[in-house]
Amino acid sequence: MTNRAIKAWYLVHKWTSLVCTVFLLMLCLTGLPLIFHDEIDALLDEQPPLADLPADTPLLSLDDMVAAAVLAYPGERPLYMSFDIDRPVVNVTTGPTAAAAVDQMHITPIDRRTAEIVGNIVEEGIMHVILRLHVDMFMGLPGELFLGFMGFLFFVAIVSGVVVYAPFMRKIAFGTVRTSRSRRLKWLDLHNVLGIVTLMWASVVGLTGVVNTLSTPLVDVWRRDQLTALVAPYAGQPPSERFDAVDAAVRTAMAAAPGTRPQFVAFPGVRFSSNHHYAVWLRGATPATQQLLTPALIDSQTGELTAMASMPWYMLVLRLSQPLHFGDYGGMPMKILWAVLDLVTIVILGSGLYLWLGRRRTSIDARLREVDSGGRAGSAGNVAEPAE
């Protein structure tokens, strides 16, 4: 590349890094405990244990679960139903209206064998605070989109850093840390080397984080595009007020897609369904397909399957990005790897901030000569910082 091109890439790397570093540090620090959120939640779980019943105890109807949840919160209607993976429990979400805000909803775990409520799920505590900081900084959709933009700048900083570092690396051995020079220069070399080592991981986590921040707009696009087309025959009809046939709806959906399991049910009128259907969201039964969801629309009045369509590509990208972002695909070994790489990224971001705060007055031309010479230009007290 010409010096002019390197100079342009250097400035791109410098300013994108400066803008996003503090926010990326916050995301890395909050993301570290979120990698182990399942284990931490289990450790902090104070819910009462389930009744000790024989393994072959039959499961009661899902409609009985809905009735128990509505009885616990009179005046509310069912919104969603989700299924625990490792125990016979369903979680019924209720609220005063279909458009109820999150703080108006109640999530009630119910034992499917007895229809008894087993504790409650409250969105509070330290893990909830950490999650909200990581997701939207308590600012809702604007906070999500802002953090998504910071993630995009992070990816640009990664790409521009590689472009700037490449000519520098051609002149020295990979992984070189110039320990004979100043402490600042050693931190610069360490910053560059760790950045290259974690390049692929940081890119994947950064981009999946950006995709996750687009969850709300993408769901809105899906509703406007695919869902509207699927429920077009119901246009002009009043919204359904029937919520007592969820058990039959789930059985109908599973019969239409053998080998799948219900992930959650969206009741008529809520965001993930239509005004006239139970939307039974089915997931694959294998590790390779359990992240892929297929919605089955069941007419809440007749109980008939009216539509089942694979999710569009952008919703599949969103669905696959969520567990990949937190390393949920490969069990504990992958979580540990994600945590180690997260800690390394914290060192990279922290060292970049240190290099900026302790910067010395050096012309860009001098920095470019340092890049071009592989770190041999200039003196120990006046060195270029090619990837700062």
The model's pLDDT over 55-72, given as tens digits with 9 standing for 90+, comes to 889 999 999 999 999 999
In a domain, 305, yes or no: yes
292 forms beta bridges with none
Give, as one character, the DSSP assignment of residue 292: -
**Distances, alpha carbon 33 to alpha carbons 37, 46, 76, 132, in Å:** 6, 19, 34, 13
More confident residue, 278 or 360: 278
Question: ∠ CA 10-13-15 to the nearest 5 degrees?
Answer: 105
Res 388: pLDDT = 44
Up-side HSE of residue 360: CA atoms within 13 Å toward CB?
14
Indicate if the pLDDT at residue 378 is higher than 70: no
Contact 288, 267 (CB under 8 A): no
83 forms beta bridges with 90
Residues 6+ apart with CB under 8 A from 214: 145, 148, 318
**In 3-state terms, what secondary structure has residue 65?**
helix
Indicate if the pLDDT at residue 346 is higher than 90: yes
In a domain, 218, yes or no: yes
Res 361: pLDDT = 62
In a domain, 364, yes or no: no
Confidence tier at 167 by pLDDT (50, 70, 90): confident
In a domain, 185, yes or no: no
Asked whether residue 122 falls in the same domain as residue 217, the answer is no
Res 381: pLDDT = 37
Res 382: pLDDT = 37
**Distances, alpha carbon 298 to alpha carbons 84, 198, 271, 301, 337, in Å:** 22, 46, 15, 9, 42
Helix ranges (H only) for the chain are 3-35, 37-44, 62-72, 126-135, 140-169, 183-197, 199-213, 215-222, 228-230, 246-256, 313-326, 331-357, 364-373
Q: Which of 326, 349, 380 is the last residue of a domain?
A: 326
Confidence tier at 5 by pLDDT (50, 70, 90): confident
In a domain, 159, yes or no: no
Count of structural domains within the chain:
2
In a domain, 304, yes or no: yes
Q: Which of 69, 99, 129 is the last residue of a domain?
A: 129
Asked whether residue 223 falls in the same domain as residue 125, the answer is no
In a domain, 30, yes or no: no
pLDDT averaged over every residue in the chain: 86
Q: Which of 104, 129, 154 is the last residue of a domain?
A: 129
Res 41: pLDDT = 82
Query: What values do phi and psi take at 253, rounded to 5?
Result: -65, -45
In a domain, 118, yes or no: yes
Res 45: pLDDT = 73
Q: What is the mean pLDDT of residues 26-44?
A: 90
Indicate if the pLDDT at residue 189 is higher than 90: no
**How many residues in the chain?**
388
Asked whether residue 117 falls in the same domain as residue 219, the answer is no
- Residue 52's domain comprises 40-129
Per residue in 231-260, pLDDT (tens digit) is 988 988 888 888 989 999 999 999 999 989
| Cα 125–chain centre separation | 20
- Residue 25 token pair: 């540090």
Asked whether residue 226 falls in the same domain as residue 318, the answer is yes
Confidence tier at 355 by pLDDT (50, 70, 90): confident
More confident residue, 192 or 76: 76
Indicate if the pLDDT at residue 379 is higher than 50: no
